[in-house]
Amino acid sequence: MKCMLTTFDNEINPYDNLVEWQIRDSELGYNTAIKLNEIIELFCDQPYEELTEAEQDSVRETAIDFIIINDPLNIYKKVRPS
C-alpha cells in the first residue's frame, strides 16, 4: 500500500497503528475506510481483489485523490509511509 487516506484531526498515523487509527477515525465519525472502499468500487470495473498489487495501488490512490478533491470540508489528507 503506497498511500492511505486520513483526516487532519486524527493524530494517529495509520501506518504506525492501524487499529488505533480506525478507532479514532470512528470516534470522530468519519468511517474513512468505508468511504474509501465505496469510492474504490466506483473506479473498479472488476473485483478489487482480482487486480494486481500495482493496479490496486493505482485505484486506491485515484480514489483517495478523488475524495480529497471533492472534500468541501477539507478534512482529508493523503499520507505515505515515513
pLDDT tens digits, one per residue of 51-68: 999 999 999 999 999 999
pLDDT digits (tens, 9 = 90+) for 22-44: 999 999 999 999 999 999 999 88
Beta bridge partners of 76: 7
Residue 69: is its pLDDT beyond 70? yes
Q: Kindly state the cell numbers that stand for 3.
A: 498511500
Give the separation between CA 80 and CA 1, rounded to whole angstroms. Answer: 9
All structural domains of the chain with their residue ranges = 7-79
Average pLDDT value over all residues in the chain = 94
